[in-house]
């Protein structure tokens, strides 16, 4: 992997809800930026303690009993594969509420922590790491998991608070992040294009059912501003995903589409530029577009 001399000194922070989110959203572009010399840091809001075991081979009593420690070990492996730094913000997974009506969230979980309190550890981390770019989820959380929505809320709030000398003065020198992005990995256009390519190649698509139920939202799709070409790193992304063995079924939909087909049909990871303190021309193909003199 060749180093990009121009990339040394650039810093990127991803804020994610659970261990495994850093590998399922934006991991190929993360690996690419790391290879180019960018310092990448992942802040993980919770330990994923209440995550279901989604890999049948790992659905065993001994795994369930030690799930907190196992998910930490999985995160360490993924971190090494991606070449990132990572910190736990220390909150407790809220779980996925099931039922109609949905049951109340468990006491003390991340989603119930007051915003002012939940923002503090992220503000501290931003001021320590001083990222030029911050990524997180959109206001729907990417999908409506309570922790993903809370992750969105604290990320947007910390983006502003970290730069304000009057807020959290005890948590370090203020730092202005230059660009804030939302992930848009699961946009319909990408899923549809992949599905169509699978059918055209005579292969069974894992997306047929999902697409049949997917409501068209052209204004939502139009929010993508930035497509980062990173297909050379889809293999690294897949290895990082597999490191999260309790969450990722190697025989499941994540790996149902041949990598070569993914690279041909949709070679980018997609983002929405939400706020920027620098001038950059849209559409972009780089999260650091417009950042010419990083401090």
From the number of C-beta atoms within 10 Å of its C-beta (0-12, 13-18, 19+), residue 5 rates as exposed
* 3-state secondary structure (DSSP) of residue 121: helix
* 3-state secondary structure (DSSP) of residue 268: strand
The H or E element spanning position 91 is: strand 85-91
Phi then psi for residue 32, to 5 deg, are: -65, -45
CA 36 from centroid of its chain's CA atoms: 19
The answer to whether 244 is a known ligand-binding residue is no
Contact 152, 137 (CB under 8 A): yes
Cα 14 to Cα 18: distance, rounded to the nearest angstrom: 12
| Strand extents, DSSP E, 174-215 | 179-183
DSSP state of 287: T
Contact 122, 43 (CB under 8 A): yes
The radius of gyration of the chain from alpha carbons, rounded to an integer in Å, stands at 19
The answer to whether 21 is a known ligand-binding residue is yes
Which residues lie closer than 8 Å to 199 by C-beta, 6 or more apart?
Answer: 205
The answer to whether 4 is a known ligand-binding residue is no
Cα 86 to Cα 34: distance, rounded to the nearest angstrom: 13
Known binding residues for Zn(2+) are 18, 21, 148
Known binding residues are 18, 21, 148
């Amino acid at each position: 992997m060749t180093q990009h001399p121009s990339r040394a000194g650039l810093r990127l922070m991803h804020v994610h809800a659970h261990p495994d989110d850093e590998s399922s959203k934006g991991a190929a572009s993360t690996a690419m930026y790391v290879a180019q010399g960018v310092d990448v840091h992942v802040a993980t809001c919770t330990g994923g303690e209440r995550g279901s075991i989604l890999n049948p081979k790992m659905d065993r009593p001994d795994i369930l009993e030690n799930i907190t420690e196992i998910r930490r070990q999985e995160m360490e492996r993924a971190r090494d594969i991606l070449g990132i730094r990572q910190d736990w913000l220390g909150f407790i997974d809220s779980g996925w509420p099931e039922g109609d009506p949905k049951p109340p969230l468990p006491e003390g979980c991340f989603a119930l922590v007051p915003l002012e309190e939940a923002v503090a550890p992220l503000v501290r981390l931003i001021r320590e790491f001083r990222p030029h770019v911050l990524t997180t989820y959109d206001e729907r959380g990417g999908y409506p998991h309570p922790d993903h929505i809370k992750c969105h809320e604290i990320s947007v709030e910390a983006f502003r608070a970290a730069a304000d000398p009057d807020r959290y003065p005890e948590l370090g020198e203020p730092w202005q992040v230059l660009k804030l992005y939302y992930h848009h990995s699961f946009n319909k256009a990408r899923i549809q294009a992949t599905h169509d390519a699978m059918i055209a190649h005579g292969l069974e698509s894992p997306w047929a059912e999902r697409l049949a139920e997917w409501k068209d939202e052209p204004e939502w799709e139009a929010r993508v501003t930035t497509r980062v070409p990173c297909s050379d790193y889809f293999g690294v992304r897949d290895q990082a995903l597999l490191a999260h063995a309790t969450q990722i079924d190697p025989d499941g939909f994540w790996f149902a589409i041949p990598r070569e087909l993914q690279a041909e049909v949709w070679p980018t990871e997609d983002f929405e530029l939400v706020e920027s303190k620098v001038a950059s021309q849209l559409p972009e193909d780089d999260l650091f577009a417009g950042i010419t003199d990083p401090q």
